[in-house]
Structure formats: structure tokens, C-alpha cells
Chain A
Amino acid sequence: MIALTRVSRTFPARSETVAALHEIDLTVAEGEFVAVIGRSGCGKSTLLRLIAGLLEPTSGTITVDGGPVHGPRRDVALMQQQPALLPWRTALGNVLLPVEMARLPRAAGAGRARELLDAVGLAGFHHRHPYELSGGMQQRVALCRALIQQPRVLLMDEPFSALDALTREDMAAQLQALHLARPATTVFVTHSIQEAVLLADRVVVLSPRPGRVREVLAVDIPRPRSLGRSAALPAVAECVAHLHDVLAKAGDA
């Protein structure tokens, strides 16, 4: 469970300070999947880095599982926009990096790493290096690396935004399957309305400069959802249309 109470964050810029986030109140329940959506510059990434403990809030409090966030924690995993793989390590070696950083036995982690790689469709690619993998495959490896420690909280910063449309759909479907199999509390930042509606239990819309919570929309559509079949459902169309409207209004800046 993640709880943010009146969280603000400003950044120094030249002579004045710029407010990135203003008094954000947000609670993400245990195992819930929340998508955060908004235009660029609305503080989505800042929000994620605050929860990850990579940034300190200027004011307000953030707790994860009841404890205040003071820095990065091993049960909180961050998946970045770039795959950020180490080019000298194989796919398997990259997935095992968090295990090594935590000084846990490599052998035990290796079994789980193989399972994860197989689960995202990289069965034949365990010993390939990043430069031998496509962008989508690299991002799958990064997903496995984020999941290897069985995090209680998974933070994802536009993880599929650099991928082509078809690969995005595949990855979103795999992420959904992994989440259904083992639900971690997830905050998923995106600028794709379809992705948000497909994946999330709730969608948080941020308005820009400074980032504020504009609206929180519950997505009551049965799972598993798919972009193909679910797109025609009236409930999905309604959610998507509604989010378009809210974002259009939020985009007055």
C-alpha cells in the first residue's frame, strides 16, 4: 500500500523555483494497479521518483506499507523508460543484477530469472546480450529485472513508450498476465489512454504546471482485458472517451 498526503515538490530553476507537484493526495491499495496519466510536464515521473525514494518531497509525507519513504528500498522496484541494461551482461545476467546488489545467492535467483524470462517470451534468449535483442525484447528483460525480487511495489515510468504499437500491445498483455498471477502494488505512468484503461484498476489524471490530481477514474471492466476484444465494449469506450475529455480540459496549459 502506498499513501501520499499533501505531497508537493518544487525544483530550483534559474532565479525562481518551479512547482512540479502540488499537494498530491493519493492512496494505492495493496495489489492495486493504478495508472497515472497526463501531458508531458505534469510531474508524472517526479511522482514516481518520490515514491521510489529517489527524490525527497518538498512538503507532505509518503508512506509505503505504513513506513515513511526515506530512500530506495529493496521491496520497491522501478522500471524506467529506457531498458537501461548493462551491455556486457547477458539477458539472464541483467535480470540477476538486483539479486547480486542485494547480496543474495545467485543460484536461487537464477531459477526465478529463467522462469520470468520464459514467461515474457524470451525462452531462447537467456544468454544473448542486449545488442542482440530488439527494443521490445530489451524492455522485457528490464521488466524481468524489476520483478526478480518479487517487489511489493512496482513503479513503471512510461515503460513501453519507446516501442512500436504492436510490441506495446504484446507487452501490456504480458504485464497484465504477470500482474494477475502475482499482484504487486503498481503505479504505471503512461501517456497512452488505451494502455491505462487496459491495465489499470484506477486511472489518475494529472493536470500540468504544477501537477495536481485532476480526477481519479475507476475502471470496472472484467479481466483479463485485451485491446482487441475489450475495445468494442461500451464500458471501455466510455472510459476512453471520458479520459480524452478530462485530458483535453486539463491541457489548457
Chain B
Amino acid sequence: MTRIRSAGLPVLGAVTALAVWWSATAVFGIRSFFLPAPPDIVEAFRRQPAYLLRETGSTVAVTVTGFGIAVVAGLLLAMTLTAWRALERATLPVLVALNSVPKVAVAPLLVVWLGFGAQPKIVLVVLICFFPVVVATMAGLTSTPAELSELSRSLSASVWQAYVKIRLPWALPQMFVGLKVGISLAVIGAVVAEINNPTGGLGAVIVLSGTSFDTPLAFAAITLLAVLSTALFYLVVALERLLVPWARAISG
């Protein structure tokens, strides 16, 4: 019974929202140019599925590449900074200042610097999801409980052993908080870059559909973005369940 309820209620909510939307367009006679009904969006997708899927693939490539670079660089930077206190104190103000720059505002500059290819898009994704990864990982690496630090000292653990066997695994749950924030931001970063520089991807589809007044096509692209973003987020969640199954148990 609870299982049916836990699966059924979200579905019911989604179906209701769609029904309200659909009936609103029908009852108030809203034209599809202004607000397309759900079938118009399906129709827009069925008109050119290959094109839309290709552009989705392009957005996925930019998002995942940028996210991957941000994660690797973010983890390395967080590990370096937490290992070396002086460096952390010297670098943190610069990092915070850089982070407070709205990354979206840099998008046109990136095109000036890096041209019209995939590079400026990937760089924007990196910029936008780098900081959450760094901050969360640093928080995780500095949150080792005092009794565990004392334990590793009393066991005469080497610095490396203490890091690999205690400090790093302990940081994983918080690291994943950063990864989950990061992957959602990565999709946003990719779309912003594509809208700014519409040479490909779902962001470009939205821009081009605007110039041809094809609102259902824009909605089809937005729907695909939502699906993409959700899928990537749950991929990270799945990875978390796989790598740190104990995190849910101790926090719940």
C-alpha cells in the first residue's frame, strides 16, 4: 500500500499538472504560438526527432565534458588546499571573489577569447560547476571527527594512511553534495553558453525556434533539457548510492 502510494502520488501530481495546462490552453483558446498544449510539443518533436536528438547529444557532450573537468580539477584543488593550510589562506579570497562573479556574464567574453567552437561552452560549464565541487569537498575533508583523528594518531597511521583510510572516505558524502549541485548547474551553464553562441545544442534550438516563431519547438527543446538535467542528476545519485551506501544510513 505504501509502495503504491509512494510511486503513485508523484505520478498523480505530474498528470494533474499536465491536465491543468492542457485544459487551460483549450478552455481559454490560447494559441500554440503563445503557449503550446502538450500534444503540440509532442508533434514538434515528431516532426524532426533526429535533429532534436542530435542537438541533445551536443548539449550532453558539452555538459558532461565540462562537468568532468570541473570535478577532477575541483577535487585536486580541494585536496591541495586542505593539505596546505597556508595555500588555502592565500587562495581562498581569490576563489571567493572569482565565485562571486556571475559566470553567465562571462559567456560573451569566452566567445571573444575562444572562438565559436565547443571550447567556450565547455569552459563556461567548468566555471559554473567548479566552485560547488571545491567548497563541498573542502568542507568534507575538514570535517573529520576529532575522535577519528585521535584514533588514527593512536594507531601510528602514516599521513597517507590517515588520508586514504579515514579522511577521504569520510569526505565522500559531502563531496557528493557538491557533485549534485554541480551537475544541475552544468546543464544551466551549457544552455546559457549555447544561447549566447548558438552554433549547436538545445540552447541553439531555442534561439532558432524564436527567430522562426516556432514556440512548440522551443518547448520541445526545453522539455528535452528538463529530462536531460533530471537524468544526469539521478546518474550522480546512483553513483552516490553505489560508492557511499552508508551515507544515507548514517544521516537518516
CB of A106 within 8 Å of the partner chain: no
Chain B interface residue count, CB cutoff 8 Å, equals: 20
B244 partner, pick from A76, A88, A98, beta carbons under 8 A: A88
Interface pair A131/B150, CB less than 8 Å apart: no
CB of A63 within 8 Å of the partner chain: no
Per DSSP, chain B at the interface is helix
Interface pair A54/B150, CB less than 8 Å apart: yes
Interface residues on A, range: 20 to 34
CB of A78 within 8 Å of the partner chain: yes
Known: A54-B150, A100-B165. A87 touches B156 (CB 8 A): no
A80 partner, pick from B151, B165, B169, B250, beta carbons under 8 A: B151
In the assembled complex, the CB of B121 is this many whole angstroms from the nearest CB of chain A, namely 37
A54 partner, pick from B154, B165, B250, beta carbons under 8 A: B154
**Bound Cα distance A79, B248 (Å):** 27
Interface pair B169/A86, CB less than 8 Å apart: yes
Residues in A with CB closer than 8 Å to B152 are 101
Known: A52-B154, A97-B165, A101-B156. A131 touches B147 (CB 8 A): no
**Bound Cα distance A85, B145 (Å):** 11
**Residues 195 to 226 of chain B near chain A (Cβ within 8 Å):** none
Interface pair B154/A129, CB less than 8 Å apart: no
In the assembled complex, the CB of B5 is this many whole angstroms from the nearest CB of chain A, namely 26
Residues in A with CB closer than 8 Å to B153 are 54, 72
In the assembled complex, the CB of A102 is this many whole angstroms from the nearest CB of chain B, namely 8
**Residues 145 to 161 of chain B near chain A (Cβ within 8 Å):** 145, 147-148, 150-157, 161
B147 partner, pick from A73, A82, A87, A101, beta carbons under 8 A: A82
B residues bordering A, Cβ < 8 Å? 145, 147-148, 150-157, 161, 165-166, 169-170, 244, 246, 249-250
Please name 13 further chain A to chain B contacts, defined as beta carbons within 8 Å, in addition to the given A84-B147, A84-B151, A88-B244, sorted by A numbering: A72-B155, A72-B156, A76-B154, A78-B150, A78-B151, A80-B151, A82-B147, A84-B145, A101-B161, A101-B165, A102-B156, A129-B249, A131-B249
